Amino acid sequence: MRKVQFSAYARAAHRVGRSLTAIVLGATLSSACSGDKSAANADSAAGDSANAMRVALLTPGPVSDRSWNSVAYAGLVALKDSLGAQISHIQTRTPAEFEENFRQYGTQGYAMVIGNGFEYQEAAARVAPAFPKTNFVITSGRATAPNLAGVAFAFEEASYQAGIIAAHVSRTNKLGLIAGQEFPPVKASFEAFARGARSVKPNIEVITSYIGNWEDVSAAREQALAQIGRGVDIIFQNADAAGLGIFQAAREKKIYAFGTNANQNDVAPDVILGSVVIDLPKAFVRIGREIQSGTFKGRVIGYGVKDDVVRLEYNAALADRIPAAARATSDSVGAALREGTFTKLRDLQSWTDSGAAPAQSSPSGN
């Protein structure tokens, strides 16, 4: 079987995830996940030069999640390896800690402070004017200032491709969507997945659930089992550490799922058809180079399939479960996205520009 190829930065994300946690998708999964939190809280500094650019990362969850926060930490490490940066990380647990830690790093004179998630943008917008020499970067954010950038990832593009694959593989014609919380970028990707599926089977049913947080493995498993009980045979999840519970349910009931944010194909290789990946290491290094060279300007920075920052990575172990026609259709959409000729997601991408929530193509079950 053809081995999955990783970019240098994707391999870094993969190594970081594996070194931070040993994933056990069985009865002990929940306790294994919860035991990683102390490592995520550690504030680490690295770099050999006293004059090195200093970069800090705030994450809303543990960097052992093998997903959104894990790949962000891999991006932090990439800044150290590629640009010689001194790095620091802290896991924030409450919104009050967002502003507190932004101010702490600003006071210490950090050149680049990254808030990993949409939820950080309001705190960054309040703090940035007080620290004009510190550049704040918010992933999945839209707020801007002279020293504040939001990074908008066109996650919906590869999500559409995943929907095409799911519709071809599904036998029950019922697909599930599960996320931690109902953030606008998550809703946009879910809508894109549903559109991709309905481009193949217009009447396919899509059932959507939200856990309410990003770390409750048990609750995620129960949500997945409830959807499976309603006939769902493929789940597209965006749940960070909680997603491990979804993979566990998929394995128990012998259905399929998709990984998200990081390449999660090897987390549960017998159930994950592919992963919709955001290459945060590549994005962070590009922005870090601007800051290091003095050319950075606060703005919304967009990355998508055409930039090879967002992509669908197939799981080679389950390649034979995906019909050739499905793969050909998905790859054709990917080529059109890279060329800028694919237009079926323009309204979702206009949400990225306007801040308006994406419209649902049709009602989904809840």
The model's pLDDT over 242-263, given as tens digits with 9 standing for 90+, comes to 999 999 999 999 999 999 999 9
For 200, the token pair is 């193949």
In three-state secondary structure terms, 55 is strand
Amino acid making up residue 317: A
CA-to-CA dists, residue 345 to 261, 320, 358, angstroms:
19, 29, 10
Q: In the numeric block, which tokens belong to residue 311? A: 């992509």
Estimate the crossing angle of helix 8-20 against helix 280-293, to 10 degrees: 110
The whole-number mean pLDDT for each consecutive block of 10 residues of the chain, a chain of 366 residues, reads 32 38 34 35 47 95 94 98 98 95 98 97 98 97 96 96 98 98 94 98 98 96 98 97 97 98 96 98 98 97 96 98 98 97 86 40 38
Tokens of 149: 């950038």
Q: Please give the Cα distance from 89 to 58 (Å, whole number).
A: 6
Range(s) within the chain of domains with CATH label 3.40.50.2300: 8-153+279-307, 155-278+309-339
CB atoms within 10 A of CB 339: 10
In Å, how far are 7, 17, 280, 315 from 304, measured between CA atoms?
16, 23, 11, 20
Please report, for residues 88, 158, 309, the alpha-carbon distance to residue 111 in angstroms, rounded to integers and kept in the order given: 12, 32, 23
pLDDT of residue 51: 81
Topology (CATH) of 8-153+279-307: Rossmann fold (3.40.50)
What is the distance between the alpha carbons of residues 121 and 125, in angstroms, rounded to a whole number? 6
What's the pTM? 0.82
Per-residue confidence (pLDDT) for residue 29, from 0 to 100: 35
| Residue 229 CA: distances (Å) to CA of 105, 171, 177 | 48, 15, 14
Tokens of 326: 């499905």
For 118, the enclosing helix (H) or strand (E) is none
Kindly give the pairing relationship between strand 310-314 and strand 272-278: antiparallel
Distance CA 84, CA 222 (A): 44
pLDDT at 218: 98
CA pair distance 98, 116, nearest whole angstrom: 11
**Which residues contact residue 116 at a Cβ distance below 8 angstroms, ignoring those fewer than 6 apart?**
57, 58, 59, 60, 68, 69, 72, 139
State whether residue 314 is helix, strand or coil. strand
Q: Which two tokens stand for residue 58?
A: 């705030």
CA dihedral (227, 208, 61, 69) positive or negative: positive
Overall fold of domain 155-278+309-339? Rossmann fold (3.40.50)
Q: What is the pLDDT of residue 119?
A: 94
